[in-house]
Amino acid sequence: MVLDIRSVRKTFQDPSGPVDVLRDVSLSLTAGEAVALTGESGSGKSTLMHIAAGLDQADAGQVFVQGTDLTTLPERALADVRRTQIALVFQQFNLIPSLDVAANIRFQAALAGRTDPDYQAHLVSALGLGGQLHKYPENLSGGQQQRVAIARALAAKPALLLADEPTGNLDEATAQAVMDEMLALVAQTDAAFLMVTHSPAMAQRLGRQVHLRSGVVSGS
Amino acid sequence: MNVKLCLLLIFLPWAAVAQGFSGLGSQADGFAVPAPNPQFDFPADHAAHPDYRIEWWYLTANLQDAAGQAYGLQWTLFRTALAPGDEVGWGSPQVWFAHAAVTTPHRHFATERFARGGIGQAGVQAAPFRAWIDEWSLAGPNFDHLTVQAQGPDFAYDMQLTAQGPLVFHGQQGFSVKSAQGQASYYYSQPFFDIAGQLVLPDGPVQVTGQAWLDREWSSQPLADSQTGWDWFSLAFDSGDKMMGFQLRDTRGGTFSSATWITADGTTTPFVDGAFVADPLDSHTVAGRDVPVRWRVQLPAKGVDVTVQALNPDAWMDLSIPYWEGPVLVDGSHTGQGYLEMTGYD
Amino acid sequence: MMGMCLRALMSHWRRNGAQVLALVAGLAMATALWCGVQAINAEARASYDAAAGVLGEGQFDQLVPRDGDRIALADYVALRRAGWQVSPMVDHREGSVRIIGIDPLTAPPGLGGVLALSGPGQGVTARARAGVFVHPRTRDSLQVQLPVTADPAVPPGIAIGDIQAVQRLAGDDHLSRLIVLPTQPLRQGELQKVAPTLLLLKARQTADIAQLTDSFHLNLTAFGLLSFVVGLFIVHSTIGLAFEQRRSMVRTLRSLGVPLATVLGAMAAEMAAFALVGGGLGVALGYLIAAALLPDVAATLDGLYGAQVSGALQIRPQWWASGLALAVGGTAVAMAGHMIQTARMPLLASARPRAWVMASARQAQVRVGLGLALMAAAGLLAARGQGLMAGFALLGCMLVGGALLFPILAGWGVAWASARSKSAMAAWFWADTRQQLPGLSLALMALLLAVSANVGVATMVSSFRVTFVDFLDQRLAADLYVQVDTAQQSAALDQYLQTRGAEVLPLARTEASLAGQRVEVWGIRVGQTYRDNWVFLDATDRAWDTVQAGQGVILNEQLARRQNLWVGSTLRLTGLPTLPVLAVVGDYGNPNGQVIVGEGLFHSAFPNTPALQFGARTATPSALAADLIRDLGIDENAMVDQAALKGLSLDIFERTFLVTGALNVLTLGVAGFAMLMSLLTLADLRLPQLAPVWAMGQTRRCLGGLELGRALVLAVAVFLCALPLGLGLAWVLLSVVNVAAFGWKLPMFLFWDEYARLALYTVLAAALAALWPVRRLMSLPPATLVKVFSNER
């Protein structure tokens, strides 16, 4: 089990009172499994993603990544897990603006200690980034930026790849293309892949779909 | 270098080498030069000889208080001349300086004075004998009956000296050769003083008695260029015999030695280079320098093979011209006590 | 990981060269200002210390004669033989050079103790023994029949030689004074018995040359404080910018699994590197500033106080260390807040770039609270505080408090203008200005401080000058001054001038000692000129008549304050009868005490001291001078006409403040630079605000004009606030700091034309700062503006 979420609860304080975003969520992914997480806006998809990524803490329940319970870890150990086990592709591309494309792609792999130039070259060619390597993020289109983010995430060879609306900021055609490339690349890895999407069509392309509603998951 | 030091160097040319007495000029530069077979004229020769470059009145004493505690005492007046001769006023080429020290087994007090000649601040007269600098003095009706006093910021002493024997002359009747090249000085001593008086130390006054040794020496070119320092021993054995011995070290590690054997009645036997041997056994770090404070001293001709050990290894004279000087204890073929002076340890 | 993190952080700078420039230049300039001040201060102080060391003043107890100025050799020897560790000194003067004879054998180690510059005395010869040592700069002004050795270790203006050589030069075999060494033996004779004619003077805390020169340092130190604060603002704002721009990068790094501690460590290391580079550059720059200004400082001190400063600048550890410490410390202080912010920054906060400068409302509240507290403290210090430290604290509280309150005041002003704006464009202008205020506040504060400092220092300097000119009018009332050398010439000149029908003002002067301090005694011929021109701080009726009759004295303010002798007191001075104090006269800038007596009394008290200086009232000074040359054979160089003398005095005085002025301009420049950087930063962030206005039909040129206008409006606002703050600063300098340092209070005058000029400079600095960003805006490709709409990043 790469990711094992057990009975996670999360409550936010709102001016109108406490809001139970996640009430009792359990979800697990094994290596090589691809799961789509759907739900309406405000259903708690992103919150669940953040908790799975160790960016946010659950109020109750447990989150295991590769057998390590993230809910009990101190900040530094959490950072270690993020660095070595997890990769993120979010709606905002979160590239480092002052590093060029090549450096951005190398960056996380180097942090994780898994630099593999051949694999990186493969990613670059598969994502069609060959001509962009020495450009800076601000000079790339949105689709290209997201391709860089995908390449960066995969280059680190994570056990767990989390994607939160990775194509949400892209136009329809580009979104389709990026999604195709990403799924193809993910399929070549052994990573557990959890993707948040609001698009049922996109969700259908992954092996399993779970739906988040009123803070509880349901799904296949 | 500041201006004061600059001016000071003019007055104390040898201080520039910062090597104690060893930097003494080897050229006579118009000064009178010691000659063999001297005819001393006393009491006149107890006074200063301004035509010679350098001269000293050098008193050391081994003392004891009523409880048997050992002490050492030093009183030295030096004269050095920038040019031969003297004149009245600030223009005098004569420069005086003096060192005084008291050594206990655990403490060492030392202080110094400086004075220009020609203005009355320091000088030596023969009869009645009087050697003084500032308020320090070594004086008496004659050379056999003297009082000595000196003080510093933290100690003082007032002592009476009574000679119990004759003057003794080193080398050839007082002509003491200092190197193979022939550098020499006039050198005689009064090693038979009984001494008694009071030391004023931070813990209070102490009444002491003991034996004192007064050296008189003057010259114009006592050291060769290659000589870096000396080790001088004055030892009083319990047998009643005394021995003065010194070795001058040179830059190549060699030595030039000389010694005088003095019997209880004042009969002297001089020994030329090589007869007297002093080998360092242990050294001690004081004021950042390694100084030998335990020696094997031999004068085979007199059956002397003794260990000479400093009473207080920290008897460092931390003055304008730094050197080591302090009381020593003697053990081995002979027992006794004495004084050791070591210069040129840098 | 640290290295990776550092590389990522540093990549920001590669892409933002202007920020690197801002940070390094800001640090360098702040450090340079500080270093420049420190260097000048340290250099001048070192020279004084050397002088004081040589003179043995302030440092050692001294034995001086109770009467006269001579000590017999016998007294010296008697003291030495009684156990007194004393060292003789002979004072002699040749022209402008003070020659000191010492006995190097007995002189204390600190005497003549200046830094070693030459090696061991191999070259020291008997020739040197017979001569004197002088500073290379003084060498030419010393004309003596002795070998002269140049040695930079000797303070300028002084020659040191062996006592014998100096005695020969003076033609006298007496000693002037005896230095008492700090270490004395256990027992010594009683001074009263050994040398009853000598008086023991305790080491003075303040040597006389130090008294006035210290005030000059104070001026500079106050200025150093100001430049420090201005510098800190700049460093703070630049670092704030860099941190804020990298917020999203920090978040990305952390989401990629870099621990917070590593990020913070990398940032600290990076900033330390910048601080060292900027600080190092600043030190070098400060050295150049100081080197450029130092000749003036040297000339200033030389001219004003007769205390010469070595023209050669040495790199002293005090000031480069303090400069680097400022750079690193200032960076650390500026960084600390941002580090804490970064540490507390939630990982998941919106990644939208926030305008870094849009400080939160809470921060603004804290700032106002702090500002008010500082102002209150300033009020308290003004009312209760005493002494120099309180004066400085008051200065600091007032300045920083004022600066902190400025954004609020400016906000009110903009709101007020906004409420009164008629056109839509005007309304937008004010609204936009208001939005920009927080972003510019740090730069504006720095500008405010710089302008306040300028106003304050200008007021102080000019007030000083007005007072000084009045004082010169009083002291240089005659039209022609003539200097003679002998009593014979004195009598002849007196007679000649009287036959010419001129009012003659002979001046005889000598020196005396009062309570161990040197006092000048002046004998004057009371006449109409004195009655008309001298302004007394306090006087009895008919003071001049009584002085003329030889039945009283006039003191200068310095002596009056020092000895607490005022009108109604009596003066007991060796050589003079005991006389009442009739008046106290203001005598600015003179460190010495003065006793002024009538001519008759002076000559009966000091029969051997003729009047050697004469003033003459004449309508035709140059004609009279020509006659004197022809009829009496008086050297032309011995005559000065009043206007020239006054001009010379003013010239010397002006130079004192030249340095202050130069540093002032630099401060303003640094503040302008801070503003430039803030504007450049805002320019990028403001695109989304400007683009809609542009889209609605305003030209880029118009927008640029408005931007420039805004900078000018803000500069005017800064000036309006800086004026009262600066006047407050001047008041503190004149009424608190000056009293503590100089011992007298200066009247404060206002100089509106100076302020107008400063207003112009302020606006100019702001305009220059705005020019680049405005030009950039005007030449912005429309596509960039369009992008704002297409890409809502």
Q: What is the pLDDT of residues B326-346, one digit of tens each?
A: 999 999 999 999 999 998 887
Are C36 and C73 found together in one domain?
Answer: no
Q: Looking at the structure, do residues C296 and C182 belong to the same domain, yes or no? A: no
pLDDT top residue among C675 and B120: B120
Number of Cβ atoms within 10 Å of the Cβ of C731? 18
Share of residues in chain A with pLDDT > 70 (%)? 98
Can you point out the beta strands (E) in A3-159? Answer: 3-14, 17-29, 34-39, 60-65, 68-69, 86-89
- Please determine, for residue B227, whether its predicted confidence score (pLDDT) is greater than 70: yes
Do B66 and B207 meet the contact criterion of CB atoms below 8 Å apart? yes
Could you tell me if C253 and C340 lie in one domain? Answer: yes
Do the domain assignments include residue C17?
Answer: yes
pLDDT at A144 over 60: yes
- How far is C390 from B87, CA to CA, in rounded Å? 61
Mean of pLDDT values over A197-201: 84
Residue C333 token pair: 């202080």
Smallest Cα–Cα separation from C128: which of B233, B1, A49? Answer: B1
User: A111 vs C257: CB contact, 8 Å cut-off?
Assistant: yes
Would you say residue C759 lies in a domain?
no
Domain annotation covers residue C777: no
Minimal Cα distance from B113: which residue of C?
Answer: C106
C84 and C187 share one domain = yes
> Taking CB atoms and an 8 Å cutoff, what residues of chain B touch C183?
153
Cβ separation A94–C8 shorter than 8 A: no
CA distance A218 to chain C (A): 26
Site from C77, C79, C124, C154 to mutate, B interface, most B CB atoms within 10 angstroms: C124
pLDDT, position C651: 53
pLDDT confidence tier of residue B3, bands split at 50, 70 and 90: very low
- Asked if residue C565 and residue C499 are part of one domain, the reply reads yes
* Cα B245 to Cα B302: distance, rounded to the nearest angstrom: 13
Burial of residue C89, with CB atoms counted within 10 A of its CB: 0-12 exposed, 13-18 middle, 19 or more buried? buried
Among candidates C218, C212, C166, which has minimal Cα distance to C306? C212
For residues C40 and C93, membership in a common domain is answered with no
Give the mean pLDDT of B157-185: 91
Question: What's the mean pLDDT in B73-81?
Answer: 93
Chains B and A touch (3+ CB pairs under 8 A): no
Same domain? C46 vs C142: no
By the 10 Å C-beta count (0-12 exposed, 13-18 middle, 19+ buried), A95 is classed as buried
Q: Report the range of poorest mean pLDDT among A10-14, A163-167, C53-57, C373-377.
A: C53-57
- Among residues C589, C617, C645, the one where a domain terminates is C617
Same domain, C241 and C110: no
Identify from C103, C117, C184 which residue to disrupt to test chain B contact, counting B C-beta atoms within 10 A and taking the largest count. C103
Share of chain B above pLDDT 90, in %: 70
Q: So what's the pLDDT on residue C485?
A: 72
Predicted local confidence at residue C654, as pLDDT: 56
pLDDT for residue B75: 97
**What pLDDT does residue C79 have?**
96
Of residues C489, C511, C463, the one with CA closest to residue C727: C463
Q: DSSP label at C733? A: I
Residue C499 sits at φ, ψ, to 5 deg, of -65, -25
- Phi first, then psi: give them for residue C752, nearest 5 degrees: -65, -35
Say what the pLDDT of residue C453 is. Answer: 78
> Which of A51, A111, A152 should be substituted to probe chain C, the one whose Cβ sees the most C Cβ atoms within 10 Å?
A111
Residue C266 CA from chain centroid, whole number: 40
Query: Is there a single domain that holds both residue C38 and residue C156?
Result: no
d(CA C212, nearest CA chain B) in Å = 27
Domain extent, residue C21, equals: 1-50+223-356
Q: Is residue B212 a contact partner of residue B283, using CB atoms and an 8 Å limit?
A: no
User: pLDDT tens across A15-73, in order?
Assistant: 788 888 888 899 999 998 999 998 887 788 888 888 888 888 888 999 999 999 988 88
- What are C693's two structure tokens? 């206005």
Compute the average pLDDT of residues B176-181.
83
Name the domain count of chain C: 3
Quick one: closest CA in C to B17, which residue? C120
- Residue C261 falls inside a structural domain: yes
Using one digit for the tens of pLDDT, what is the confidence trace for B136-159?
Answer: 999 999 999 999 999 999 999 999
For residues C45 and C74, membership in a common domain is answered with: no
Average pLDDT per consecutive 10 residues, chain C (793 residues; last block may be shorter): 82 77 77 72 56 54 78 94 93 79 78 32 45 77 80 71 87 88 90 88 46 54 63 68 77 84 89 89 80 57 44 59 82 82 70 43 76 89 77 83 87 86 81 79 79 78 68 68 79 86 83 78 86 82 89 86 83 86 76 84 88 82 80 66 57 54 69 74 71 75 85 89 88 74 69 86 85 83 68 40
Tell me whether residue C322 is in a domain: yes
Rounded to an integer, the average pLDDT of B43-66 is: 94
What local confidence, expressed as pLDDT, does residue C122 receive? 29
What pLDDT sits at residue C153?
Answer: 64
CATH topology for B41-342 is AttH-like fold (2.40.370)
Among residues C617, C643, C668, the one where a domain terminates is C617
> Identity (one letter) of the amino acid at C291?
A
pTM: 0.50
C-alpha dihedral sign at B189, B192, B193, B195: positive
Contact A88 C255 (CB under 8 A): yes
Based on the fold, state whether residues C64 and C44 are members of the same structural domain.
no
- The answer to the question of residue C415 being in a domain is no
Mean per-residue pLDDT over chain B, rounded: 88
pLDDT band at B314 (very low <50, low <70, confident <90, very high): very high
ipTM comes to 0.91
Q: Which pLDDT does position C597 carry in this prediction?
A: 92
C579 and C504 belong to one structural domain = yes
Query: Distance (Å, rounded) from C-alpha A107 to C-alpha A191?
Result: 19
Given C171, C202, C233, the domain boundary residue is C202
